[in-house]
Structure 1
Amino acid sequence: MVFLALAALLAGIACGLLGGDLPAVDALLSSSDLVLNLLMVSVGVSIGLQRGIARKIAQYNLRALVIPLGVTIGSVAGGVVCSLVTGYPLAESASIAGCMGWYSLGGVTIGALSGGMYGGVAFLSNLMREMLSFFCIPLLARHLSPAACIAAAGATSEDTTLPMMMKYTSEEDVVLSVLNGAICSAFVPVLIPLCYQLFGA
């Protein structure tokens, strides 16, 4: 599956480099929401077929919040460290890392707050987080734990990286993955201005 994903990525890059209007690409892009919704339905069906899964979710209680809180704190802390390494302003660096993989929102929001350069950095760095986590999930699942897979994916664990979670983790972990992605995605619009407020000059 990793090699298929890599092949799809390279094919996408080739289509972008060729430019022009390609009917197949236009059709695929216009149906991206449909594909995502079908994926979510298939996840729901797969989870529903597992007996006792609702009881297991209820057993988590507040423990289900541990992963998204850890992802949020770890991402912002990583941005602070990157500020010291790269020399980027602390508020921008923390905000960029606080996007947790949500590159579309991060690029636009940070670009509006700090200009096009930082908006571009936010877009590319969070896109790279999504891509790297997509390809690293098999290794993380094998050598670390499902929680590490979810943490690496960040806000994308409920959508784009979910197929890899389905492939390499259990149904129970997929439920936690969707929950983590939903919570992290809800945090991002609040976290970006909060980072500017806390770390801004």
Structure 2
Amino acid sequence: MTYIIILSVLVGIGCGYFVLPPEVVSSMDQVTSISLFILIFLVGIDIGGNKKLFEDLKKLGLKVLIIPFGGVVGSLLGGLIIGTIFSMPMNEGLSIGSGFGWYSLSGVMLKELGGDTLGAIAFLSNVFRELLTVILIPILAKKLNSYTAIAPAGATSMDTTLPLIAKATNSEVAVVAFINGVVLSSLVPILVPFFYNIF
């Protein structure tokens, strides 16, 4: 599955650059959104069809929040470490890390807070996180365990990477992934300005 994903991305880049006219490329956002909604709808049907799943989730209780908590800590530490390596101020490294993969929001927020360069760095770091996640999901699910496939996805585990997580794992993990995405997505608009303005 990983090879198919990588090949699809490369073929898509080639088509966008060499084959498709700019008018078609500019309307890809709408096509992508519709396709994503259909995929999420189908994942929802799969999850809803598993009656035992919701009983199992009730048993887990607050343990479901361990993955988002770990995702927050890992992303912030990563932002802090990489920011230090590149001699960035601590607040910028933390605010970029608190984008949790939501490139469209965190990039815009940090552009307004810290300027074009910081916005571009936030945008690109979160885009690369999502691309790397797409490649890693099947590998992590197979080599480690199903739940480790959720963490790299960050906020995208409730939308763009949810179908991949569901395919590489199972319905229970897909529900946990969705919860993880909801929690992290809710934190992005709070933590990005908080960390930027804290120091």
> Please, what TM-score do these two structures have when normalized by structure 2?
0.92
Matches within 5 A, 1:74-89: 74-89=74-89
Q: Is 1:21 aligned to 2:18, yes or no?
A: no
Alignment size in residue pairs: 198
SS in 2 for 1:99: coil
Deviation at 1:27, TM superposition (A): 5.3
Matches within 5 A, 1:44-63: 44-63=44-63
Answer 1 or 2: higher relative contact order, Cα 8 Å, separation at least 6. Answer: 2
The answer to whether the Cα contact below 8 Å between 2:83 and 2:90 also exists between their aligned partners in 1 is: yes
Can you give the 5+ residue segments of structure 1 that lack an aligned partner in the other structure?
A: none
- Structure 2: how far apart are the matches of 1:157 and 1:79? 19
- Structure 1: how far apart are the matches of 2:97 and 2:158? 18
Letter in 2 for 1:131: L
Deviation at 1:17, TM superposition (A): 2.7
Deviation at 1:9, TM superposition (A): 1.5
RMSD: 1.7
Letter in 1 for 2:42: S
- Structure 2: how far apart are the matches of 1:163 and 1:183? 18
> Please, what TM-score do these two structures have when normalized by structure 1?
0.91
Q: Is 1:31 aligned to 2:31, yes or no?
A: yes
Deviation at 1:73, TM superposition (A): 1.6
- Cα offsets for 1:69-115 (capped at 9, x unmatched): 11012111211111221111111111111101111111111111111
- Structure 2: how far apart are the matches of 1:27 and 1:124? 21
- Cα offsets for 1:24-78 (capped at 9, x unmatched): x455432322222211211111112223111111112111111111101211121
SS in 1 for 2:165: helix
In the other structure, the counterpart of 1:136 is 136
SS in 1 for 2:29: helix
The answer to whether the Cα contact below 8 Å between 2:2 and 2:139 also exists between their aligned partners in 1 is: no
Letter in 2 for 1:96: I
Can you give the 5+ residue segments of structure 2 that lack an aligned partner in the other structure?
A: none
Q: Which moved more, 1:9-18 or 1:74-83?
A: 9-18
Matches within 5 A, 1:157-196: 157-196=157-196
